[in-house]
Amino acid sequence: MGILRTALYCRLSKDDMLQGDSESIKTQKAMLTQYAKEHGFMVVEIYVDDGWSGLNFDRPDFNRMLDDIEAGKIDAVITKDLSRLGRDHLKVGHFTEIYFPMKNVRYIAVNDCVDTANKNNDIAALKNVMNEFYSRDNSRKIRSSIRARAKAGLYRCSYAPFGYRKSPDNHNKLIVDEETAWIVKRVFVLANAGMGAHKIAKTFRDEKVSCPSWWQHTRGQRDYSKRFENPQNQFEWSHTIIRNMIGNPVYLGHSVMCKTESIFKVGKYKKLPEEEWIRIDNTHEPLVTQELFDGANAKILSRKRDTTNNFVSVFSGLVKCGTCGKALALRYWGRDRHRIYVCTTYAHNTKFCTDHRIYYEDLYNAVLADIQYHARLAYEDREKAVALAVKMNAKADGSRGKSNETKLKQARKRYDEVTRLFDRLYEDSLSGRISNDNFTRLIDKYQSEQGQLLGQIQTLENALQEVKDNQKNALQWADLMAEYAGIQELNAENLNLLVERIEVFDRAETEDGVNQTVKICYRFGGYIGERTFKAKVLKHPFKKNSCTRKKGVGNEKATSVS
């Protein structure tokens, strides 16, 4: 075998930094460079991801290295040990046992004595598992540290609750925000007087009271520039925010923390049962009395309707309107109290959207069928699933991708031609074959064209990079979906692992009945799933101009699901 073009890959996470200088990037570089020199490898590039977790494979330089492998620029990859490549034993195994051999790339982990050029690498699998156990142990320690801080009464959220600010002297302590505390107090007073969350929100809109997101935006805590392009949105209160505020014991001066917990390796959060929450009383100044708090909550609860078997939707937070993009709210429909989802924009003002109603059962069956189909496809034919994901989710389809490649070649060719023309112009100017006026005019012309070409080349390269990113995401999506082949029911946990967003479109009446389309945005995969089905016919048929009615969400009154 000839001299191998070699990539040296170094990685250091914040957890690894605790181990000392032996794990530093500088140490890794020196060690790998010396190893490559002693064994006759030709180093073409050193890739470094500093401060990146081994569980995260979407690292900048790691992805750059994969791009160079795809381009045929690298014959070998060397790391200090397997943990530098990553700490997820499944994904590391994929690279060492499938990806690198498939690309004819030799992989070496120096300290672990792993070399894919040798057949005996059985120890690698065990070390991969141990590396993941290390990350699991760190995750447990971090979780324990978070809970310990919570038990000490230290406020640890990124933002203070509305009505409070973080103390400038101690960011783990809340102090009263004099500018907004009066709004919180008024919410409780109105609720205690028997006013519901919807009515309070409407009152604040009518009185031009600025909403919490506006305060965050003006204080630079969050960027809501797009939302507040419309000045009226400054006073757009949500009844959900009001209801959450009324039920939050933080306004009694108590801290309730650790309501959620991160899911190892997934990067998402799950809700913890209430008995696992950590509540510490009297950690800061209260905004309301216990009497006012209890009264407001009692009045709000008395306004709620009983639900069937304490029903909780598995789609919570995922279902959006396909037209306006706002959330769909779960409601009861008609005398039989069918569960339906209805657009919240339409519920507030029928002029701005249509109801986009969909039966909960229809939505459940459509989403389950789509997940079952794609999970089975990913399990039985991974290549076909990946190809489908690339085709459906790529911003530029195959023909545009090929067109961009052609345009990029043409732009680069023209850029080289313009560069050569520059050289000729200077020679002609020096020899006197061209006047100074013509020289200046042509230089300006070619410089302008050169700038345009550079911009065009950058745009085309970015477009082609998006296609490559789609390919990587498609592989991750197929691997994730394959794990759920044979899924028989949906729950909040598997839905949030697989799906990022579900969009419901308006019902369309046809001669054959009522059709409805649901689009599913999958995690990693994007908008791959789409289901059009025959929607159930309501007991009382829709009128064609139902969206113009001023009250309700249809021919019958719809009531909120608590």
The pLDDT confidence band at residue 385, using thresholds 50, 70 and 90, is confident
- Do 518 and 524 contact (CB within 8 A), yes or no? no
Res 183 pLDDT > 90 = yes
How buried is residue 169: exposed, middle or buried, by Cβ count under 10 Å (0-12/13-18/19+)?
Answer: exposed
pLDDT score at 48? 93
Region of poorest pLDDT, from 13-22, 185-194, 353-362: 13-22
Report H helices in 253-381: 290-303, 344-348, 360-380
Res 358 pLDDT > 80 = yes
Which residues have CB under 8 Å from 279's CB, separation 6+?
Answer: 249, 254, 255, 256, 257
Per-residue pLDDT tens over the stretch 233-254: 888 888 888 988 898 888 998 8
Assigned fold of 164-304: Hect, E3 ligase catalytic domain fold (3.90.1750)
The span from the CA of 464 to the CA of 468, in Å, is 7
Per-residue pLDDT tens over the stretch 153-167: 677 777 888 999 888
| 283, two tokens | 């950690």
Res 551 pLDDT > 50 = no
Res 459 pLDDT > 70 = yes
Which residue in 246, 244, 245 sits closest to 296, CA to CA? 246
- Do 216 and 210 contact (CB within 8 A), yes or no? no
Region of poorest pLDDT, from 26-40, 103-117, 200-214, 527-541: 527-541
Res 304 pLDDT > 70 = no
Res 412 pLDDT > 70 = yes
Which residue in 479, 487, 486, 489 sits closest to 522, CA to CA? 479
The span from the CA of 500 to the CA of 189, in Å, is 38
Please work out, in degrees rounded to the nearest 5, the angle formed at the alpha carbon of residue 499 by the alpha carbons of 497 and 502: 150
Percent of the chain with pLDDT over 70: 77
Average pLDDT rounded to a whole number, residues 333-347: 79
pLDDT score at 42? 93
Res 289 pLDDT > 50 = yes
Res 394 pLDDT > 70 = no
Res 306 pLDDT > 60 = no
* Partner residues linked to 516 by β-bridges: 533
Segment holding 261, helix H or strand E:
strand 260-262
Please work out, in degrees rounded to the nearest 5, the angle formed at the alpha carbon of residue 164 by the alpha carbons of 163 and 167: 165
Per-residue pLDDT tens over the stretch 195-215: 788 888 889 988 999 999 899
- Do 290 and 252 contact (CB within 8 A), yes or no? yes
Domain 5-148: CATH superfamily, name plus number: Resolvase, N-terminal catalytic domain (3.40.50.1390)
Average pLDDT rounded to a whole number, residues 36-51: 92
Region of poorest pLDDT, from 71-75, 112-116, 385-389, 394-398: 394-398
Per-residue pLDDT tens over the stretch 211-233: 998 998 888 888 888 888 888 88
Res 319 pLDDT > 90 = no
Domains of the chain: which residue ranges? 5-148, 164-304, 390-479
If you count them, how many residues does the chain have?
562
Res 437 pLDDT > 80 = no
Which residue in 547, 555, 559, 551 sits closest to 506, CA to CA? 547
End-to-end Cα spacing for the chain: 70
pLDDT score at 555? 34
Percent of the chain with pLDDT over 90: 15
Which residues have CB under 8 Å from 95's CB, separation 6+?
Answer: 85, 86, 107
pLDDT score at 553? 35
Per-residue pLDDT tens over the stretch 504-515: 998 887 777 778
Res 480 pLDDT > 70 = yes
pLDDT score at 305? 45
Reduce the DSSP state of residue 54 to 3 states and report it.
coil
Identity of the highest mean pLDDT range in 238-242, 261-265, 348-352, 451-455: 238-242
Per the model's pLDDT, the better-predicted residue between 473 and 106 turns out to be 106
How many Cβ atoms from other residues are within 10 Å of residue 27's Cβ?
15
